[in-house]
Structure 1
C-alpha cells in the first residue's frame, strides 16, 4: 500500500508524491477511454475531444475528517464544453454560468454595447475616408510665389493678390466642408465616447460582482473573497484553476488535504510551455495570491 503524504507539498515547487501519481494515473487512463477505478462512467466523446485540445487537470489526495478514510478528488481548470459540473469532478467555486443568471444577463448587455461600438467605429472609418476626400473636385490651389520670367513687379503684385484671394476663397470652402462633416459626426462621436465609458463601467461592475462571490476558504475555516485576497480586481479566470477548486471542495466537505498534483492533458497551447502528460506547478499570476490564503492552516512544505 502506498504511504500517504506527511506534509502537504508546496504547489509551486514539488515532485508529485507517489500516491498523487497513482491518482493521476487513474484519471489519465479514464481520459484515454480505458477502464479505470476513477469512474465507472466512461468520458463522453465531447468531453474527451475538448480535453484533448489542451486542459490542466488536478488531483487532491484527502483524508475524511469523520473517519480518517483516504481518497482523492479530481478537477480541471475553467470549464469543459461550457460546463463546470461534470460528474466525478469537483464543481466550480462559484458557478456563474447559469443562462438566466446575473452574470449571463449582464454579460449580454455588455455584448450589446460592444456591437453598437463596433458599428459606430466602422461608420467612423468610412467617415474618415470621406474626410480625406472632402476636397476632391476642389483641390487646394497651388501657385508659384516667385516672379515669373518677363513678369513686371506690378504684374507680379497683382497676380499674387489674385492668387491669395483665390486661396482665401478655397480655405473658406474647405472650412465649410469640414464643418459640415464634423457636424454630421459630432453627435455620433459623443455617443461613441459615452458607450465606451458605459462598457468600462459595466465591465468593472460585473467583474467586481463576480469576484466578490468567490468566497475562498482556508484550512482554518476562514473566508475571504477574491477582491479581498488580491486587493484589486483579480486577473481574468482567477479562482477557476484546479488548485483552488480542489481545496475549496475539500474544506467545505470535511476533507483534509494531504497532497496535490497538476498535469497537462492534450495539445500544447501556443503561448505557454505545456506538454501532454507532464506535471506543472500552480501559476503565479492567479493562483499564488489565492493559495497563499487557502493553504493557511495546513502544514505545507517550504518553497526553496
Structure 2
C-alpha cells in the first residue's frame, strides 16, 4: 500500500495567465474551468505513464474484464496562497484504495484489523455454510418427492370425493324410490323393508367417509415424513439466511456511520445522517466512494480551499452506459447529490443553470393552424410541457395563443433540447383522434441529426458502406443519475430506430443522418446514436452522452399524419437551423 503524506499537486506549467474562479463549480451541470482542464490533462498524462499499478481500462483493445473509471480533479489553494489540485478515482483502483498522487477514501474498509474484516469474515463463513446447504442434493430430491406425494394425494382424494358424490346421488335416488313405494303401499312390511335399506344406505355413506379419512391419514403421514426431513435442511438454511441478512444490515449501518464527511464550516455528517431525510432513507451502495466527495473531504480535512471541480471518464464505456473517454461529466444525483448538498454548505457556488428558463426570448413559430389543430416549430432548449421548476413551455405558450382551445393541447412531446415539429390539438375530439394515431404508430416522424464523427458503418469501402440501418437497444432510466438512460437487455423497454445516411462532411468529420423512431422512449435517438452497439457516435451538442456545444443538433424535420377531422393525409417539413 502506498500513501503520500500530502496529495496536493502543483501544476507543471505556468498558470498565472488564468483567472481563478469567482465561485465554486455547481457540480451537477458545469463547463470545466480552464485550470481544471489543465489539471485533468496532467492527470491523464500521469495515467498513461505511471508504473505503480496495472488496470485494464480497455484502451488497448482488450475489452475482456475491462473497467473504465471516473476520475476527478479539485482545484485548491493552500494556506500559503499556492494554487494546485487534488486527484481522485471513484471506488477502488487496481483493487486498492491508496495510490501515489490520489486522495485516500473517506473511510478505508480494506485496512487490516478493522471491524469490517472481522465482521465480513463472519458473513463469509455464513455464506460458505449456506452454499453447502443450498447445494445439498437431498433438498431438490425431497422437494421433488414432496410434490409427487402431494400430487398423488390430491389425485386419489379427488377420485374418492367423486365416488362419494356419485354415491350420494345414487342413495338419494334410492330414497326417493322408497318414499314413492311407501306412498303407494303404506304397509308395515314396506316400512320394515325401507328401514333395512335406509340402514344399508347410511352405512355406505359412513364407509365412504371413513375411507376418505383413511386416505387422508395415509398421505398425511407420508407427506409429513418427507416435510420433516426437508424442514431439517431448509429451516437451518432459512435461519442462516436470516442471520446473514441481519449481520449484513448491521455491518452496512456500521459502515455508513464510519463514512463521515466534512464541509468548509467544519460540520461533520455520516452517510446515515445525510440520507435519513431523503427519499432513499438508506444510502445506496457505493455512496461516498465517488471522486467528488473524496476530493472535497480531503481538502476540508487539510485546510485547502476548494476553487473548482471537474470529473472525467477514463477508459472503455460500461456495457449499459454511455461514457466517452476523457469526456467531463457532472456528479451523479442519487448518491452524490445528498452528500455534496452537505459538503458544499458554506461555499459560494455557481448558480444552477437548470433553474434558468432557456426559453426566455424565444418564440414558437406556428406553421399551420385550423379549427382542429396547429403545427408548430419548437426551438431547441424549450420545454414541451412545464417542468418542476420552469413553467414556460410549448404548452404554456399555446394556452396563451389559443385561450379558447379545449382539451390537453399537447399530443406528443419533444425533448427540451430537441427542436422541430409538434402537432397541437385545439379540441378534445381532435386530441383524441391525433393521440390514437400516435398510439397506433401510424404517424410518420423523422428527425435529422448531426453526428460528432463518422460512424464505422459509414466509413467502409463504398461497396460495403451502409446507407441505412436499424437499431434495437432496450432502454430504462439510470436510477443513479436521472435523466440519463441505460441500455438494459433485462429490464429495458423496447426501443427501435431506423437510420438513413444523408451526408458525410470529411472536412469537419461530421455526419448528417435521418432518424425514424419506431418507439418513443426518453432520449431514444440520443442513446441509439451514442451507444457502442448503436452508431457509436454521439449527436453534436449532446451534453449527456457526448460533448456540449451551442445546442443539441437534433431536429424533428418531418411529420406526416391524418387530419383529425377530415382524415386528409397531411405532410409537414421544416429544415433545421444547423
- Same-fold call, TM > 0.5? yes
- Structure 1 residue 300: Cα displacement: 0.7
More displaced stretch, 129-138 vs 175-184: 129-138
2:18 equivalent to 1:2: yes
Match of 1:25 in 2: 41
Q: 2:317 aligns with which of 239, 245, 268?
A: 268
The 2-side partners of 1:48 and 1:29 are apart by 16
**Judging changes above 3 Å, is the alpha-carbon distance between structure 1 residues 136 and 221 closer, same or farther for their aligned structure 2 residues?**
closer
Match of 1:47 in 2: 55
| Structure 1 segment 1-304 matched on structure 2, within 5 A | 1-33=17-49, 42-44=50-52, 46-47=54-55, 49=57, 53-65=67-79, 67-123=80-136, 124-134=139-149, 140=156, 142=159, 145=163, 168-231=213-276, 232-304=281-353
User: How many pairs align?
Assistant: 292
- Tell me if the contact between 1:217 and 1:224 (Cα under 8 Å) persists in the aligned partners: yes
- Tell me if the contact between 2:57 and 2:315 (Cα under 8 Å) persists in the aligned partners: no
The 2-side partners of 1:131 and 1:245 are apart by 55
Secondary structure, in 3 states, of the residue corresponding to 1:47? Answer: coil
Bigger proportion of residues as strand: 2
- Tell me if the contact between 1:31 and 1:48 (Cα under 8 Å) persists in the aligned partners: no
The 2-side partners of 1:55 and 1:292 are apart by 23
- Tell me if the contact between 2:57 and 2:314 (Cα under 8 Å) persists in the aligned partners: no
Match of 2:537 in 1: none
**Judging changes above 3 Å, is the alpha-carbon distance between structure 1 residues 135 and 205 closer, same or farther for their aligned structure 2 residues?**
closer
**Judging changes above 3 Å, is the alpha-carbon distance between structure 1 residues 136 and 255 closer, same or farther for their aligned structure 2 residues?**
closer
- Structure 1 residue 99: Cα displacement: 3.7
- Structure 1 residue 165: Cα displacement: 6.2
Secondary structure, in 3 states, of the residue corresponding to 1:25? Answer: helix
- Gaps spanning 5+ residues in structure 1: where? 34-41, 148-152
The 2-side partners of 1:272 and 1:84 are apart by 24
The 1-side partners of 2:140 and 2:327 are apart by 48
The 2-side partners of 1:301 and 1:18 are apart by 15
The 2-side partners of 1:190 and 1:290 are apart by 41
Secondary structure, in 3 states, of the residue corresponding to 1:140? Answer: helix
- Structure 1 residue 105: Cα displacement: 1.6
The 1-side partners of 2:206 and 2:132 are apart by 48
The 1-side partners of 2:253 and 2:231 are apart by 33
The 1-side partners of 2:150 and 2:73 are apart by 68
- Tell me if the contact between 1:216 and 1:225 (Cα under 8 Å) persists in the aligned partners: yes
The 1-side partners of 2:344 and 2:140 are apart by 52
Structure whose CA Rg is larger: 2
- Gaps spanning 5+ residues in structure 2: where? 1-16, 60-65, 168-173, 175-196, 354-578
More displaced stretch, 188-197 vs 172-181: 188-197
- Structure 1 residue 291: Cα displacement: 0.4
When the two structures are superposed, what TM-score results if normalisation uses the length of structure 1?
0.84
- Structure 1 residue 228: Cα displacement: 1.1
